[in-house]
Amino acid sequence: MTKILLDNPLLLLFLVAGIGYPLGRIKIFGSSFGVAAVLFVGLAFGAMHPQMKLPDVIYMLGLSIFIYAIGLSGGPVFVASFKREGLRYNLLVLTILGICAIVTALIGSLLHFKPSITAGIYSGSLTSTPSIAVIIDTLRHNFRGGGNLDQLLAEPVVGYSITYPMGLIGTVLAISLAQRLWKIDFKAEAKQLRSLGAATEPLRNYTIAVKRGEVCCGKPVEQLRREQGWDVIFGRVKRDGQYLLASPEEKLREGDLVTVVGTSEELDRVAAFLGEKSTEEIDLDRSEFDFRRIFVSNPAVAGRRLSDLELRGKYGAVVTRVRRGDDEFLPNGDLSLELGDRVRVVTHHDNMKAVTRLFGDSYRAVSEIDVLTFGLGLAMGLFLGLLPIPLPGGITFKLGFAGGPLVTGIVLGTIGRTGKMFWNLPYSANITLRQIGMVLFLAGVGTGAGYSFLSTFVNGGGLLFFGVGTGITCLASLLVLGVGYRMVKIPMTLLMGIVAGMQTQSAVLGYALDQTHNDLPNIGFASVYPAATVFKIVLVQIMVVTLAQH
C-alpha cells in the first residue's frame, strides 16, 4: 500500500482529502475541526514514510487560489468594517492580536524556540489556517540554503498542529467562563440590540391597512421611514381598487392597503404606527403587478449599486429582498449586487420580461468562472508577492504566494469592476474554490511535515509548545472578553461573535449562537473577521523575518 501511494501522488491527495474532510465534520463536545482535519490526516499519512509527500506545486496552487478567493469576498466587508462601531471592534481585536504576537515572540526568544515554530504556535493558538500558509510561503521565499528546506517547512506545521486543538477548546472555555462570571442575560441584551437586526433573521411580508391618517398621511413614505427609523421596504399600494408601487415620494392615504417587507418586530412597529395588519394579502394578487425571484447572472449588472440601475424610473420595478448564499436581507440604494444573488422584484406584468433580461436569470452563466479576470487577477497577486518590500532596520520580505494574492484580492474585490471587467467571483464559485484550495494546501503541507512531526513533538519540546499555545489562546480570548465587556462596554452577545471573528473560527461562532439563541453574534463575527485574518497574516510574516535576524 505504501509503495502504491508513493508512486501515485494524486491517489494520495484524494485519499487524504476524502478521509480528512468528513472527519472534520464530526462534532466532539459540540465543536469540530472543520477543514483543518485534512491537515491531521495528512500528517498521519506523511509519518508512514519520509518520501510520502505531495509535490510542492499542489500546496502552492491551493494556497494561491484559497487566499485570492478570500481577498475577493472579504474586500468589501474589510473596508466596511472600519465604519461606525466596527472601527471600535477592530481596534480592540487588532490591538490584542498585536500584544499576543509580541508576547509569543518574547516567549519564543526566551525559550530558544526556532522562529518558524514560534510563528506556527501563534497561528495554531489563534486557529489561523491562512497564517500557517503564509509562514510556509515566507520561509520558502527567504530560504538561503543553509539547511534542510523540508525540515524547515515542517517546523511551523508542528507548532500549529500541536496548539490548534487548544486554540479552539480554550476559546470556548473562556467564553463559557465569562458568561457565567458576569451572569449575562442574553434575552435582555437582544432587546437592547434589536435595532441592529441580524443577517440571517427571517424577513416577512405584511399587508397593513392605513387607519391613522392624522399621523402618517401627507408625508412621503421615505420620510416616514427615516423619521421612525424603520428598517423596511415598501412594496405596492392598493387604493380605491387600483394598484401602484410605493415609490419613495408616495404619500399614503387613509384606507390604503400597503405591503411592507421586514422582520416581524419591525413590521409590528410599522403596523402600529400606520394602522393595523390587514387580513387581505394584496401581495398575492397578481392581476396587475407580478413578483418573482430573479437570479443575478448578468456581469453588466454585477458590481453596480441598485440605485444606479434606476429600476423605478426605467422599469417601474422595486427590489424588496436580496438573498446571498443562505442570508436574506433588505436592499438599499448603495447595495452592490454580486453574481449569484437572487433578488425579489415587484413590477407590472408588462415589465417583468425586461427586468428579467436585465438581471440575467441564468444559473448556467454563473456556473462558469470568467477565466480572464480570475487568471489576470491571480497573476497580478503572484507578481506582487515576488516583489521585495523593505522594513525598518534593513530587513526586506516578500508577500509571497499568499500575501500577494490576498492584497490583490482585497483591492479588486473592493473595486468590483473596471470598465467591462468584473473581478468578483459568483458566490457559489468563490466558496467552492476556497474549499478546494484549502484542501489542496492542507493535504500538501500535512504530508510534507508528517514524517518529522512525531520526532519533533517528542524530542523538540512538544509539551512545552502546547503549554505556550494554551497560554496565548487564553490571553487573547480573556483580554478581548474582559476589556471589551468591562471597559469598552460591548454587549456580551456581540462580544462572543467578536472573539470568534478574532479567532477566525466558525466553530466558536456556532457555540456563541447556541448560547445566545439569536443571530446577533454574526454581526460581531462579520465586523472583525476580515481585518483579523489580514492582520494575523501580516504579523506572522513580520515575526518570521524579524526573529530570523536575531
CATH number at residue 258: 3.30.70.1450
| Phi, psi angles (nearest 5°) of residue 299 | -60, -25
Place of cell 433588505: 330
Q: Rounded mean pLDDT of the chain?
A: 81
> Considering the chain, what percentage of its residues have pLDDT values greater than 70?
87
Helix axis angle, 400-415 relative to 56-80, nearest 10°? 40
Residue 198: the pLDDT is 45
Angle at the Cα of 5 from the Cα atoms of 4 and 7, rounded to 5 degrees: 65
Residue 128: the pLDDT is 83
Beta bridge partners, 296, equal 360
Residue 326: the pLDDT is 66
In the predicted structure, residue 225 carries a pLDDT above the cut 70? yes
Residue 178: the pLDDT is 87
Residue 391: the pLDDT is 61
Residue 435 belongs to a domain: no
Best-predicted range by mean pLDDT (60-69, 286-295, 375-384): 375-384
Specify whether the CB–CB gap between 298 and 359 falls below 8 A: yes
Residue 109 belongs to a domain: no
Residue 393 belongs to a domain: no
Residue 453 belongs to a domain: no
SS3 for 386-454 is HCEEEECCCEEEECHHHHHHHHHHHHHHHHCEECCEECCCCHHHHHHHHHHHHHHHHHHHHHHHHHHHH
Convert the pLDDT of each residue in 422-465 to its tens digit: 888 877 788 788 888 888 888 887 887 777 666 666 666 677 88
pLDDT class of 510 with cuts at 50, 70, 90: low
In the predicted structure, residue 368 carries a pLDDT above the cut 90? no
Q: Running DSSP on this structure, what letter comes out for residue 323? A: E
Convert the pLDDT of each residue in 183-192 to its tens digit: 887 777 766 6
Q: Is 361 helix (H, G, I), strand (E, B) or coil?
A: coil
In the predicted structure, residue 492 carries a pLDDT above the cut 80? yes
Residue 156: the pLDDT is 87
Residue 501 C-alpha cell reads as 471573528
Residue 107: the pLDDT is 93
Residue 256 belongs to a domain: yes
- The four Cα atoms 457, 459, 462, 468 give a dihedral, to 10 degrees, of -150
Residue 95: the pLDDT is 94
DSSP string, 266-308: HHHHHHHHHEEE-S--GGG--SSEEEEEEEB--TTTTTSBGGG
Convert the pLDDT of each residue in 312-355 to its tens digit: 888 888 888 888 776 777 787 777 787 788 888 888 888 888 88
From CA 354, how far away is CA 343, in angstroms rounded?
15
Average pLDDT over residues 244-251: 84
pTM of the prediction? 0.65
From CA 487, how far away is CA 92, in angstroms rounded?
11
pLDDT class of 474 with cuts at 50, 70, 90: very high
Convert the pLDDT of each residue in 208-220 to its tens digit: 998 887 777 778 8
pLDDT class of 33 with cuts at 50, 70, 90: low
Residue 143: the pLDDT is 60
Specify whether the CB–CB gap between 443 and 13 falls below 8 A: yes
From CA 108, how far away is CA 117, in angstroms rounded?
8
Please tell me the total count of domains within the chain: 1
Residue 225 is part of which domain span?
Answer: 198-358
Beta-carbon contacts of residue 278 (< 8 Å; ≥ 6 apart): 207, 208, 209, 257
Residue 82 belongs to a domain: no
Residue 343 belongs to a domain: yes
Residue 223 belongs to a domain: yes
Taking alpha carbons only, the member of 407, 414, 415, 411 closest to residue 385 is: 407
Best-predicted range by mean pLDDT (40-54, 263-277, 297-311, 318-332): 263-277
pLDDT class of 125 with cuts at 50, 70, 90: very high
Q: How many residues does the chain have?
A: 550
In the predicted structure, residue 249 carries a pLDDT above the cut 80? yes
Residue 304: the pLDDT is 79
Average pLDDT over residues 281-310: 82
Average pLDDT over residues 81-110: 87
Residue 197: the pLDDT is 44
Poorest-pLDDT segment among 231-240, 397-406, 483-492: 397-406
Average pLDDT over residues 287-309: 82
